[in-house]
Amino acid sequence: MSARTIERLVTSHPSQDGDGVKISRIHDFGGGLDPFLMLDELGSDQPDDYIGGFPPHPHRGIETLTYVIHGGLTHEDHLGHRSTIGAG
């Protein structure tokens, strides 16, 4: 195996989405990451930071991946498709 060098470091920035859900987000809407990639971290110990959730929203053909370390969440899209996942 050969060592790889780090090309660049990207810092997340605080953001809010949905009904005020607090997140840390890394994105590159300028086209530098191909394919398009957006990383959101929801990491608060305050349940009120999540209670409002996200209103119905289309994903318009994008693939989403959710990884839960602690707790769980239910995701429902604008067509009513729903799934609930837990940690791990």
Dig out the tokens for 66 from the structure.
Answer: 């959710």
How far the first Cα of the chain sits from its last, in Å, is 29
How much of the chain, in percent, has pLDDT values that exceed 90?
A: 7
Decide which of 4 and 55 is more confident.
4
pLDDT at 33 over 80: no
| Band of pLDDT at residue 17, cut at 50, 70 and 90 | confident
What's CA 16's distance to the chain center, in Å?
A: 11
pLDDT digits over 40-76, tens only? Answer: 888 777 777 777 777 777 777 777 778 888 888 888 7
pLDDT at 13 over 80: yes
Dig out the tokens for 59 from the structure.
Answer: 């994903």
Structural contact between residues 48 and 20, judged by C-beta atoms closer than 8 angstroms: no
Residue 45 contacts by C-beta under 8 Å, 6 or more apart in sequence?
none
